[in-house]
Every structure is written in C-alpha cells, then in structure tokens.
A and B are shown apart, each in its own frame.
Chain A
Amino acid sequence: AQRVTQPEKLLSVFKGAPVELKCNYSYSGSPELFWYVQYSRQRLQLLLRHISRESIKGFTADLNKGETSFHLKKPFAQEEDSAMYYCALSDRGSTLGRLYFGRGTQLTVWP
C-alpha cells in the first residue's frame, strides 16, 4: 500500500526564518513525489515534483530514498508562503494514474 505521512498538521514560523515541511512515504515501487500548495480559498496547484529538480518560489525538495522522505524546504520564509501544503506520491511504474496525498500541513508565516 502507498502511504504519505505529513507529521505536522500546523507549522508556524516568523518571516525570514527557515522552514521545513516534512513528508515521509512508504512505498516499495518506483515513486514520484510532488508538493502541491493551496493558498487561502484557492485551488490546489503544483509547487514542484522531484524529477524536475527545480526550485520554485525559493522552495526545494530532495527525494531521500534511504529515509523515504521528501521534505520541502525554504531558507527564508515569506508571509505570502502562508498556505496549505500537500505532499503526494504516484507510482511511476503504474498505469493507474492516481496520486496519494498526505493530510497536509498548514504553514503560517508571521510578520
């Protein structure tokens, strides 16, 4: 079974502080990991995916297969980063096409 765990439901930091949103997964196949973001009362949108290896809005995430983690990091948080963040997993070797989402972490960045 595929499992995505985001251990923190809520996370608060001050502006300019580093932030790390944790994501751990449990899957024996060939996973692809994503981070989605949902700003207040807006649709979910893709933030980044691990195969792209890019930095979006200052955020990065590295897939650590040894620790089965895909933590999202930003060195200096901004107030506009306040949002709900979802980690998601898909099986690259599968044709099923679905994503498995974590429960989400609500990030609040205080001024």
Chain B
Amino acid sequence: DAGVIQSPRHEVTEMGQEVTLRCKPISGHDYLFWYRQTMMRGLELLIYFNNNVPIDDSGMPEDRFSAKMPNASFSTLKIQPSEPRDSAVYFCASSLNQGLAGGGVQYFGPGTRLLVL
C-alpha cells in the first residue's frame, strides 16, 4: 500500500479563493482524520470520520471550512473563501478500529502545505 495519499502537496492561492484538499486513506481503514499544523497552535484535529460518517467536527474553525467523505477511499477538505490565517500544513490520517489487531495507530499522509496570500 502506498500509504495515505494527499493532494496537492503545495497550494498557493489568493485570499478569497476556494481551496480543496484531497485525501485517499489506506485501503481498509475505517477512520479518517483531518489535522491542521501551525507553529503557533501545533497539531489540531479539525474533523474525523468513521465509516464515511463525520463523528466530530468541533475542531473545524468556522463555516468557511467543510469536509466530506463520499466513499471509503476519498475525502476532501474545502476552505471557501480562504484567508491568510488559513495558511498551514493540513494532514490527513487514517486508522483501523482500535478494537482490531493493529488498530488505533494513525497513519499520516505527507500533508498539504497551504499558503494564502
């Protein structure tokens, strides 16, 4: 397995534009997580899904952020409109149910480095 795949790896956009980040989890994993990493705030959980259903989106900063998981192999995180303060590295991670052997460990993607000008 290629691991968790994210695209794009880098995104530079102007304030007000829509940004869509994409994630393909590891096949067979039933949890998917979106994180944001900044120097000031560290690693923040934005939202996570179990079996494609959002479980907790309390970390989503505001209505400009939305996330979907239309199927088990794909998720998107959208920011509309984007603002300079959204500049960060966004990570996607996936895991197996922790009740299963090897479960509970999260596997991270390479991240998307977003810069909003």
Contact = CB atoms under 8 A, between A and B. Distances in A.
A49 B105 contact: yes
A102 B43 CA distance: 8
Q: What is the interface of chain A mostly: helix, strand, loop, or mixed?
A: loop
Interface size on A, as a range, is 20 to 34
Contacts of B98: 32, 90, 92, 97
B104 A32 contact: yes
A45 B50 CA distance: 21
B56 A98 contact: yes
Nearest to B106: A99
Interface stretch (B69-77, B79-87, B108-116): B108-116
A42 B50 CA distance: 26
Q: What is the interface of chain B mostly: helix, strand, loop, or mixed?
A: strand
Interface residues of B, number: 24
Contact of A98 (B33, B43, B111): B33
B61 interface: no
A90 B95 CA distance: 12
A57 interface: no
Interface string B44-63: 01001010000110000000
A104 B42 contact: yes
B48 A46 contact: no
B111 A97 contact: no
B99 interface: yes
B97 interface: yes
A25 interface: no
Residue of B55, B105, B111 with most chain A CB atoms under a 10 A cut-off: B105
Interface of B: 4, 31, 33, 42-43, 45, 48, 50, 55-56, 91, 93, 95, 97-99, 104-111
Interface of A: 32, 34, 42-46, 49, 86, 90, 92, 95-99, 101-104
Given A43-B109, A97-B98, A97-B104, 12 more contacts: A42-B110, A43-B4, A44-B43, A46-B105, A46-B106, A90-B98, A90-B104, A92-B98, A96-B56, A97-B50, A98-B33, A104-B43
